[in-house]
Amino acid sequence: MIHLGRIRWINEWDIKNVLENAKKDLQNLEFAWFKYACIINENDIPYTIKITPDEKSNFLLIAKELSKISKMKLWVCILYNDWKATLEIAKEIDANFVRIDTFVDLVKSDAWVIKPEAEKIIEYKRELWLKDLNIFTDIQPKYKEMLENKTLLESWEQAIGNWSDWIIITGTKSWDSVSLEDLKLLRKCLKSKILLWSWTSKENIKNYWEYIDWAFIWTSLKNWDGIDKEKAKTFIDYCNQLWKESPLPKIV
């Protein structure tokens, strides 16, 4: 994960600082041999459903600069759920993946009710001719209150039925581990890919190993100023050891 510094209401000098910090995170992930990185506007709190034109311009500028130097494949995710800007920026930087936070679930977060717009999202992907772009979608996403009575399996069924490529499962917030029981149930019932996206760490990845296909990690790798390259390298080394012992999932 590359959590951008604040890109809302900032000047040209601040953008340079955000870009330099993002480059540092990118380099530290590459040092540890990570394969993918997701660019996300993590610090634009409070989030809005749609970002402003200035925010989009700043995000795109930074994403383009990172794509020029990145050895990894880059993702795009724009919070809360500006899927239109996400897809447009993904097209500009030729991204392979995007993460859509809310896809088929009716949810509430803070003052916002976010409606599921899966059909519109997929239709816009087609309009942009993004046939090789993979859309990864959360089901019952973190920091959200579900406004409809559905099980995880029902949300999964709706997401896959609406052309989600992979399913993302999270805890209730960033520091919450994913319920192992939920993960076991999904793995037992699902044939689609499962991506773990909440408080992944060296301490818990072994518990999830046989139930997931991919995992994303950031919080447990950071120090006060971003990604710690030694923590990142230690995590990858540990995953490589797990792979030798039990080569089931792909941890990236």
Report whether the peptide linkage leading into residue 141 is cis, meaning its omega lies within 30 degrees of zero.
no
Residue 248: is its pLDDT beyond 90?
no
| Average pLDDT rounded to a whole number, residues 4-30 | 94
- Please give the backbone phi and psi of residue 38, each rounded to the nearest 5 degrees, phi first: -105, 125
For 166, other C-beta atoms within 10 Å of its C-beta total 18
**pLDDT (tens digit, 9 = 90+) per residue, 22-66?**
999 999 999 999 989 999 999 998 999 999 999 999 999 999 999
Helix axes 180-189, 152-161, angle to 10 degrees: 50
DSSP string, 180-244: HHHHHHHHHH--S-EEE-SS--TTTHHHHGGG-SEE---GGGEETTEE-HHHHHHHHHHHHHHHH
Q: Cα–Cα distance between 239 and 244 in angstroms, integer?
A: 9
pLDDT of residue 247: 63
Alpha-carbon span 140 to 21, nearest angstrom: 31
- pLDDT at position 181 is 86
Give me the sign of the Cα torsion angle 167, 171, 177, 181: negative
The rounded distance, in Å, linking the Cα atoms of 165 and 163 is 6
pLDDT cut 70: percent of the chain above it: 96
The whole-number pLDDT of residue 197 equals 76
Query: Is 50 exceeded by the pLDDT of residue 251?
Result: no
**Exposure letters 168-188 (e unless 16+ CB within 10 A, then b):** bbbbbeeeebbeeebbeebee
Band of the pLDDT at 111, cuts 50, 70, 90? Answer: confident
The topology under which CATH files domain 2-245 is: TIM Barrel (3.20.20)
Provide mean pLDDT across the span 97-105. Answer: 95
User: Is the pLDDT confidence value at 250 over 60?
Assistant: no
- Helix, coil or strand: residue 14: helix
Q: pLDDT tens across 158-204, in order?
A: 999 999 999 898 878 776 778 888 888 888 877 677 878 777 888 88
In the chain, where the domains are located: 2-245
Mean predicted confidence (pLDDT) in 242-249: 74
pLDDT more than 90, % of the chain: 64
Q: Is the pLDDT of residue 95 over 60?
A: yes
Query: Out of 5-19, 72-86, 185-199, which region has the weakest mean confidence (pLDDT)?
Result: 185-199
Whole-model pTM? 0.90
What confidence score (pLDDT) does residue 223 get? 86
What is the rounded CA–CA span in Å between residue 41 and residue 61?
13
Confidence of residue 136 (pLDDT cuts 50, 70, 90): very high
Each residue of 225-244: pLDDT tens digit?
889 999 999 999 999 999 88
What is the pLDDT, as a whole number, of residue 252? 43
